[in-house]
Structure 1
Amino acid sequence: MVRNQLSKELGESVVGRGGLTIKTTLDWRIQEKLETEMKAFFATGRPDAVRISNGAATIEDTQTGQIVALVGSRDFNHAGYGQDNAAVSYIQPGSTIKSLVFAQLFDKHDNKQAYGSGTVLSDDNIDSLYGAKLRNWDGKFMGGINIRKALSFSRNIPAVKAAYIIGNGSAKPVVEGIRNMGNTNYCRQEENAGGYGLGASIGACGTKQTELVNAYGTLARMGVQKDSSSVIEVKNSQGETLKKWKDDGKRVIDPQSAYIVNDILSDRTTGLHGWMGVNGARTSAKTGTSDKGSQPKDLWIVNYSPALVMGIWLGNSDTSVIGTSASNYAMPVVRSVMSFAHTQVYAKEGKWKSGQWYDRPNGVQTVDGELYPSWWNKKQSQSSEKITFDKVSKKKATNCTPDGAKEELEVTKIIDPLTKKESIKAPDGYDANAEDDTHKCEDVKPQIGAVSVSNSGKKYTISVDVSAGTWEVAAIEITVDGKSIKSSEINTGGKQTATVEISSAGTHTVSVTVRDRAYYTATSNSSFTSSSSD
């Protein structure tokens, strides 16, 4: 890899003459750890069990773009393809490309709606726009989900919509944006062979791992692209410096956009594969899978922090399909190597410290727990209204929903920027597109029997029998003259009692209310007379 880079930059004749002193960017401690963990992973037999025979990984220093470790195969000495460098081969990256698409969508575009992590891009059928059948990995649609969930759960349709919006229906602008971020040759083979389509936004083109890692480095550098490098300095036999690394960079993505993507990918509890983090270091992560004939072929992970970016690929050199679609399969390698590199190397050299994260750019807005750039306006393509829900089914209330089960909540109505369809975003756990199917108009309410009152001196005991209707009883309240003397949860019918002390003579009102688990209620009112002689 180093020779190829120098041959391009210095010329084959210079490199061929020899006598060069070359200082590379590799950190031998991280390189050795990467080689050891990759070999150990394949030695477990887990890859063989799912027909995976090879892998490659690249680790880049975030701040410089320098490659600090790289393995092009599972083992350099492995028979057949050990000396082939898959890290610079063209392989489809699957859903790892989506992060680079949404980073561009979050950027400011003239005369276009602004987007943030909470913006809804509905996951629905867009075959007519896409020009072919487009589905998610599970064959399902999730409906009106926001971008955070779309990226965390790796949905294809919102990513394609994002690319469509960026390019007004053309894939070229989003691909150029991906290339500008450092994935320089993404879709280059397809372009030379006749072209590419919107499938490029979900990883349908070939990429080089080193370039994909560099593009994620742009996210980690908060939108500043720096070319990846494997060489720091080259001198000839006379001691003359022929090449010296220079720290150059250019801004290609707004820092607010990069920050929002980094935040989404750092979620530790949501996503397709649960926690994708590294012990001891806060990182962001994205997985990807490419297919061949509807069967998984390549598995990807990119895991990164303000200090380091690591990309890893698993698959077969002959491009044959594999036996799993679990794109987090290589996390044992990622977790071990990235933890070591952060805590044992970079921390000791002052290049990283525990808890380190990105500085939040000025202008980033937090609205209902989601992040939006400064140019986003809440009124864009959405409005709010209140809907009455059933608190049991968490669906819209009907005329069969009892009053006690009704609650009024604010929902957001969104117009999809492409399909122009209206969708409703309700609070988490609530479904504004379905009606209460828990309550039935023929349901029987709980029953209250006769109320009796007995006394011993000034102490009066209220007794009442309650029974369940369609649903089990759940709570009872007994009041005397408007004052509660018993309010408790119950789980069975039968006799309920409460005692109150009354000092003066007179007539008193007793009210008994019982509620069941579906929030049906029944109330019974009665009265009794107390005597001063008591």
Structure 2
Amino acid sequence: VITTLDMPLQKLAEEQIQAGLAQVKRQGGDVAAMASEDVETGQVVSLVGGVDFSNPDYGQNNYARLRLPPGSSFKPYDYAALIENTNNFGAGSVLYDTQGPLEGYPCTNKARPKQGGNCLFDYDFRYPGPVTLRYALGGSRNVPAVKAMLIAGIDKTIETAEKLGLKSGYNCYADEDLTVEAPCYASSAIGDGAYLRLDEHVHALGSLSRGGVNIPQTYILKIDDAQDKTVYEWKKEKGEQAVREDTAYIINDMLSDPNASYFPAGRKPQRWNGWNFAMKTGTTNDAKDGWMTGYSTKYATAVWVGYHTRSKEMSGTMENMTQPIWQGWMRGAHNNLTPKNWEKPAGIKTLPAYVIRTHVGVGSVEPSPANDIFPSWYENTKKQSSAKKTIDKVSNKLATDCTPPRAKQEVTETDASSFSGDIFVDAGGANTTEQDDVHKCSDAKPGVRLTINNNGGSYSLVATVTQGTHPLSSDKFKGTVIFSVDGTELPGGSFQIDSPGTVTYQNFTGSGTITVTVIDSVLYDGSDSGTISGGGSSSAVSGLQVVGTTPTSATLQWNAYPGATGYIVGWKRGASTGSCSVSGTQATCSSLASGLHTFTVTATGVGGSPSASVDRNI
């Protein structure tokens, strides 16, 4: 008998299982299983049924071929059935992730399940409102998944999964020994109370990768009898179109989208060396099963972890156990292979989609795309209603009076109900109304002080930056210091800054009003200004700065101007003006009202009236 096992890939699977077992045990499990398939042929290239074949209690259990509840790893089939069996759903269509009654979840008690509640909850006990199918699947949201199954039909969804490759079925049972079959209900949409085989799960996902085509799965390449006569030899078969190509492509595209994935930055596995990996996790409600499944155009694989009797609840996050195993195998298997990703079917439509601004998952990236993909048979007969909104670019929520001007952006967006096929929510279901929760009116803004140094023919412009309430820089918005003259940014005058300190613009020649602006990580800003009059080495007083303020006064200092016999210092606030008391190269300006003041120092006793100005709020 010649099997389909690829020995290097089999060795890789065994190594990854053993390497990950310590973490499984730390979280309360003691067994892991894994199966992998060559997508192009349906051949099983690696299989690990357990962790220790010699264990007398459970070592010979092949968990890769036993019935196991898939948890959320079943959800790709929910959305495949929904898209395949309707004409009003695509990746950008809306289902509402809101609390309310659904079949099997009467929601008469809104407490959490462990406190006796009977509503359907997500893993994070949040309801982000209208979400697209892309973000519902990537975020592993329970409410939209159950709705998807109910809209497509429970039986139709299970039939779709079985046609894709669950040859032994996706079944529910009336007894703990799994001997008496019973009807499946809506909870089967999230892999709760329903069972499948891991190796067949891998094969069904492989069918999605094949563009919806289910070819026979095989473990055997050839069988010869005792007389060396070949009694069986594998041949690739054409297979059957289980779901249409458009459906499969959309599922593949959504599952391989790192922005829609709830995985945090740094742990997103969907992109590697040019490959796109479709990935889905799974955790049963009782935390007795942890899954990670996924596929490329070349390989499909799944990892399951648990306790050998499935009687023990595991602790912590399942991905901490499953991801190292799954990711280690996928990367090893694809190493040195030329990347090949899914080709978009000719009939796929790219159309306007609902834009999500409410944060959906832990690591999802919003806003969601303004355009998304839909199947060729998609029809949307709803009248689209658009409205202008001012949003905060930092939180991606509605702007408030506390949102700084730089963070405000006016957008025209279509209401969620225009994209909704959700039969469980009124057509006028509320769009998100969440407001900017990053900016507070009490926040301290970043500060900057400008010092102009005369270097005898040119000037160095020095910005001294201080931090406000928020960090100066973030991954999304880098801290920035900008030097400008008379409102125009100087060439090379933009600098990134991560922490408080000084930034210097060297060798400025010319004249005008110099302004330096600091912009922090949430788009608050602060600025300071000074004036260089005329040109050359004798054109301006250097080093003018406000060194201290009180609610009614300001203290200034500057560098001595060569040949000056004295200095005149004054201030201006709107139409009001005044003079300041001068002592050497310092001045005190008193009896000031609140507001923006321009302070000017002018050297006397020299030609050209060299001066400098600086602005400061009092």
Question: Could you say which residue in structure 2 is the equivalent of 1:38?
Answer: 17
Q: Which of 203-212 and 72-81 deviates more?
A: 72-81
Change (3 A) 1:189 1:409: closer
**Structure 2 residue 129 is the aligned partner of structure 1 residue 143:** yes
Secondary structure of the 2:20 match is helix
Change (3 A) 1:380 1:115: farther
- One-letter amino acid of the counterpart of residue 316, structure 2: T
Cα offset for 1:33?
A: 2.5
Cα offset for 1:251?
A: 0.6
Distance of 2:93 and 2:215 partners within structure 1: 30
- One-letter amino acid of the counterpart of residue 307, structure 1: K
Q: How does 1:193-212 map to 2 (within 5 A)?
A: 193-204=181-192, 205-212=194-201
Distance of 1:406 and 1:337 partners within structure 2: 45
Cα offset for 1:322?
A: 1.5
**Structure 2 residue 62 is the aligned partner of structure 1 residue 85:** yes
Higher helix share: 1
Cα offset for 1:181?
A: 0.8
Cα offset for 1:386?
A: 1.3
Native 8 Å contact 2:393 2:408 kept in 1: yes
Change (3 A) 1:269 1:433: closer
Question: Could you say which residue in structure 2 is the equivalent of 1:125?
Answer: 99
Distance of 1:495 and 1:172 partners within structure 2: 68
Question: Could you say which residue in structure 1 is the equivalent of 2:269?
Answer: 276
**Structure 2 residue 486 is the aligned partner of structure 1 residue 497:** no
**Structure 2 residue 88 is the aligned partner of structure 1 residue 113:** yes
Deviations 1:300-343 (A, max 9, x none): 11121111111111101211221233235222222333333333
Question: Could you say which residue in structure 2 is the equivalent of 1:6?
Answer: none
**Structure 2 residue 305 is the aligned partner of structure 1 residue 314:** yes
Change (3 A) 1:278 1:76: farther
Native 8 Å contact 1:108 1:114 kept in 2: no
Deviations 1:213-241 (A, max 9, x none): 11101111111011211112333335554
Change (3 A) 1:400 1:493: closer
- One-letter amino acid of the counterpart of residue 77, structure 1: S
Change (3 A) 1:394 1:80: closer
Question: Could you say which residue in structure 2 is the equivalent of 1:300?
Answer: 291
1:325 maps to which of 313, 317, 325 = 317
Distance of 1:477 and 1:340 partners within structure 2: 52
Gaps of 5+ in 2: 107-118, 175-179, 352-369, 444-469, 471-480, 488-511, 520-524, 536-571, 576-594, 599-607, 610-618
Question: Could you say which residue in structure 2 is the equivalent of 1:14?
Answer: none
Q: Which of 364-373 and 171-180 deviates more?
A: 364-373
1:365 maps to which of 349, 357, 370 = 349
Question: Could you say which residue in structure 1 is the equivalent of 2:5?
Answer: 26
Change (3 A) 1:79 1:270: farther
1:410 maps to which of 412, 425, 428 = 412
Native 8 Å contact 1:223 1:258 kept in 2: yes
Cα offset for 1:177?
A: 0.8
Native 8 Å contact 2:516 2:528 kept in 1: no
Cα offset for 1:176?
A: 0.8
Change (3 A) 1:414 1:478: same
- One-letter amino acid of the counterpart of residue 361, structure 1: P
Q: Which of 81-90 and 258-267 deviates more?
A: 258-267
Change (3 A) 1:487 1:129: farther
TM-score (norm 1): 0.71
Change (3 A) 1:476 1:313: closer
1:336 maps to which of 298, 316, 328 = 328
Distance of 1:393 and 1:303 partners within structure 2: 31
Change (3 A) 1:393 1:328: closer
Distance of 1:363 and 1:173 partners within structure 2: 24
Change (3 A) 1:80 1:411: same
Distance of 1:70 and 1:267 partners within structure 2: 27
Question: Could you say which residue in structure 1 is the equivalent of 2:146?
Answer: 160
Secondary structure of the 2:96 match is coil
Secondary structure of the 1:338 match is helix
Native 8 Å contact 1:278 1:339 kept in 2: no
Cα offset for 1:501?
A: 5.8
1:172 maps to which of 151, 155, 158 = 155
TM-score (norm 2): 0.62
Native 8 Å contact 2:513 2:529 kept in 1: no
Cα offset for 1:81?
A: 1.0
Distance of 1:477 and 1:41 partners within structure 2: 56
Cα offset for 1:164?
A: 1.4
Question: Could you say which residue in structure 1 is the equivalent of 2:26?
Answer: 49
Native 8 Å contact 2:211 2:244 kept in 1: yes
Distance of 1:76 and 1:402 partners within structure 2: 63
Change (3 A) 1:328 1:264: farther
Secondary structure of the 1:210 match is helix
Question: Could you say which residue in structure 2 is the equivalent of 1:185?
Answer: 168
Distance of 1:33 and 1:108 partners within structure 2: 39
Native 8 Å contact 1:91 1:206 kept in 2: yes
Distance of 1:178 and 1:322 partners within structure 2: 28
Change (3 A) 1:369 1:319: same
Secondary structure of the 1:271 match is coil
- One-letter amino acid of the counterpart of residue 225, structure 2: N
Question: Could you say which residue in structure 2 is the equivalent of 1:63?
Answer: 40
C-alpha RMSD over aligned residues:
4.2
Distance of 1:23 and 1:314 partners within structure 2: 29
- One-letter amino acid of the counterpart of residue 306, structure 1: T
Secondary structure of the 1:291 match is coil
Native 8 Å contact 1:98 1:202 kept in 2: yes
